[in-house]
Each structure stands twice: as structure tokens, then as C-alpha cells.
Amino acid sequence: MPEKKNFCRIAQNLPPNVGAEILRYGWRKPDILSLGQGEGNAPTPDFIMDGAVEALRAGKTHYGPVLGQPVLREALSSYYEQVFNFDIPANRLFVTGSGTTAMHLALTSILEKGDEVVAVTPIWKNLLGAVELAEARIVQVPLDFGEEESGSQKGWSLDLERLLAAVTDKTKALLIVTPSNPTGWMMSEEEMRHVLDFARARGIWIISDEVYSRTAYGLSHAPSFLGVAQADDLLITVNSFSKSWAMTGWRLGWLVGPAAAEEIIRDIALYDNMGPPTFTQFGAVKALEDGEDFIAQQMVGWEANRDYMMERLGAHPKITMVAPSATFYAFFKVEGEPDCLTFAKRLIDEQSLSLAPGCAFGAGAKGWMRLCFAVSRPRLEEALDRLERAL
């Protein structure tokens, strides 16, 4: 067995990913019920699969352009026009082999060793991997949780002054996930304008992960930095087909950057994996062209699950939480369980229920737990039964 010491220092010293460890811990049990991962249990709809299968049969099995098939880049441009009313030409849209890869490319294209990235947390930890690999430093600015019904707002909010005060002359970028995994918090358009004005004045990047932009309850989409920015702003948005089109296993995402990013991202992606798979992109074209009914129908199911979960979990005397305004996550704190890692392991050991521990999401989330409710009602009921037994 080769020893770890033979590998590079950065790889040896990557901080452990607690969320992934807990998932692995749960998968050892054959009867595990896992709501710890961020995906629904619905399969990809047929009309999307047909697009990919037809492409396979038509011989779309060769290398393709590194930044994606032109037809998909054009379809993304039309999608932004039709759903968001944004004018984003195809030369600002770069297709990637997942949202995670999109984030990796975005950060790799801007970070130098020693740079700082100011990130709003709690945050999906995997997004910070590229910061760590680049030997840049993450500065976490946690959201606040207001417990009061009146007075200060109940639920998650961002102290903008604190965010901006965390910026130093070493800061290269602000990293914001909105809507947020795991809290469901969304940044308002007004807050986005404020942050953008500040970033412009300081000449720093905004990296905005908008993977959950189509999961905002009661809205066709969440506010987007693309709606307040100019085409040449230092802004990169990260997106994915995973969540809203039920395509997690397809590993397909995209980036929107300034046109000047096109060659930079292309050249890094060339050395990464030479671009996304070819035939899957034709499924993604169908997703964009014909996916609106599916998205709407999926939101109806998730909203019903959210309400059901709030009736049960939200009403439990030991639980503190608010209904998320977006995403499909319940993020909650349990009275008497200050250590979320111990609690996550106990749930697996005693109830065969796997949930994500809050400490996997960085500062501000210790003692919290995340449950993904994008599942069938019987599965959700069973998970809540097991959780209530443990409480």
C-alpha cells in the first residue's frame, strides 16, 4: 500500500469532509434510510432521457467542444431570456461536467496561493475544496438565526456590514450561495446591489452559486446576481442541472461569466477533463426547452412536503427551525443535542436514519442537522417517525 506521505502536501492536508464521512458511516447499514444527501428520489423525466438516448443512437459519442455543445449554450441563453428576462449571449455561458466542476473552474481561474475568499456560511462544504486546493484561505461569515417571532426577523439573515467588513486587501472573492444549501436563506435583490457596488469599488470577484435558483417557493426563480450586474462585472455564477431537472447522476452544470472568461475557462477545462460528456448535453437541451412543467410539478410536491414537515418537525417542542423559503432542506437544531456529529451517528446506529450534521457546513451550523425532504411522502413519513423516536 503506498503511504500518504508519498502524495503532495496539499492533498495530504485536505481537511476532512465530515458530511461525506457520515454518509459513508450510514451506508454500512443495509436498512439505512438516508435523507442526508441533497437529491430527490424522483428519476430524471423521460423527455430528458430521450434527448440523451437519441443523441447516443445518432452517434454523439465523440469528443465535443470544451465549453459545451453550441446548441446547449444557445439553449441556456434562451432559457435565461424566457425564464429570467436576462440577455446572456452564448459566449458568456460555459457548460461543465457538474455544478461542483463549475465552482472548481471558477475558483481555479481566479485564486492565487495566499488569497482570501470570504464565504457566507453555513455552506455546502464541497464548494470550498478548490479554495483549499489553491492554498487560498477561507474567511467564513455566518448567517444569523433570529429566534424571535417579533422584533428581529425570525429565521436566517445576513449582516451585510459584517460581510463587507470581512474583506481585506487579500480578498480575491466573495462566495455566496443563494438560495443557500443548507439554510434555504435567499439574498434579496437589494442586498445583491449593495454587495455588487462594494465589490466593484474594491475590484473583487463575486462567485454566486445559484444552483437552487429554481427552488424558491412562490417565485418562478430566486433573485440572481445576473439580474443586477453588467456584462463585464467581475461576477461568475455557478449552476447545475442536478436539482431542478432531477439530473444529479448526469454530472452536468454551467457557468456564466464575463465574455473575457471564455478563453480562460476553456483552457483550464481543457486540462481538467476536456469538457462535459457529449450525449448527455442533448438531454440537457430538452430539459431547458421542455422542462418548465416538470419544474412546476416538482415544486408542488416539495412545497407539500415542506408544509407537512413543518407541521410535524416544526411543531416538535425540542426542535428549532423555520420553513425554508427555497431549496428542499429542513435545517434544524435539537434541544439537548449540542454535538451534531454525535447525534448524526446516534441516528444511524439506533434508528438507521442518515441526516447531514450541521458542522459539515462550516461556521454557524454546529449543533444543526439537515434533512432533505425531496422524497416520496412515505419515505418522509418514515424518516420523521425514526427521528421522533430518537428525540
Binding site for ligand PLP (CB under 6 A): 38, 98-100, 124, 127, 177, 181, 209, 211, 240, 242, 248, 253
State which residue, 177 or 199, has the beta carbon closest to ligand PLP: 177
Residue 1 CB, shortest distance to ligand PLP, in Å, is 30
State which residue, 38 or 367, has the beta carbon closest to ligand PLP: 38
Residue 97 CB, shortest distance to ligand PLP, in Å, is 9
SS (H, E, C) 129-177: HHHHHCCCEEEEEECEEECCCCCCCCEEECCHHHHHHCCCCCEEEEEEE
CA distance 360 to 21: 10
State which residue, 243 or 337, has the beta carbon closest to ligand PLP: 243
Residue nearest to ligand PLP (CB): 99
Residue-by-residue DSSP string for 68-136: --HHHHHHHHHHIIIII-----GGGEEEESSHHHHHHHHHHTT--TT-EEEEEES--GGGGHHHHHTT-
Kindly list the distances between the CA atom of residue 361 and the CA atoms of 57, 66, 94, 209, in Å, as whole numbers in the listed order. Answer: 42, 32, 27, 15
CA distance 110 to 112: 7
Residue 106 CB, shortest distance to ligand PLP, in Å, is 11
Residue 211 CB, shortest distance to ligand PLP, in Å, is 4
Residue 240 CB, shortest distance to ligand PLP, in Å, is 3
Kindly list the distances between the CA atom of residue 305 and the CA atoms of 11, 34, 250, 373, 375, in Å, as whole numbers in the listed order. Answer: 40, 16, 25, 6, 8
CA distance 367 to 52: 42
State which residue, 48 or 337, has the beta carbon closest to ligand PLP: 48
Residue 214 CB, shortest distance to ligand PLP, in Å, is 13
Residue 117 CB, shortest distance to ligand PLP, in Å, is 15
State which residue, 73 or 370, has the beta carbon closest to ligand PLP: 370
Three-class secondary structure of residue 240 per DSSP: strand
Q: Which of 213, 145, 77 is nearest to 364 (CA)?
A: 145
State which residue, 180 or 351, has the beta carbon closest to ligand PLP: 180
Cβ neighbors of 209 (< 8 A, separation 6 or more) are 99, 103, 127, 175, 176, 177, 178, 237, 238
Question: Where does residue 277 rank: exposed (0-12), middle (13-18), buried (19+ CB within 10 A)?
Answer: middle
State which residue, 19 or 155, has the beta carbon closest to ligand PLP: 19
State which residue, 80 or 337, has the beta carbon closest to ligand PLP: 80
Q: Which of 167, 165, 302 is nearest to 243 (CA)?
A: 302
State which residue, 13 or 273, has the beta carbon closest to ligand PLP: 273
Question: b/e per residue, 310-329, with b = 16+ CB within 10 A?
Answer: beebbebeebebbebbbbbb
Residue 93 CB, shortest distance to ligand PLP, in Å, is 15
Residue 126 CB, shortest distance to ligand PLP, in Å, is 7
Pairing outcome for strands 253-256 and 93-96: antiparallel
| Whether the Cβ atoms of residue 204 and residue 176 lie closer than 8 Å to each other | no
Q: Which of 191, 219, 220 is nearest to 208 (CA)?
A: 191
Residue 246 CB, shortest distance to ligand PLP, in Å, is 11
State which residue, 286 or 351, has the beta carbon closest to ligand PLP: 286
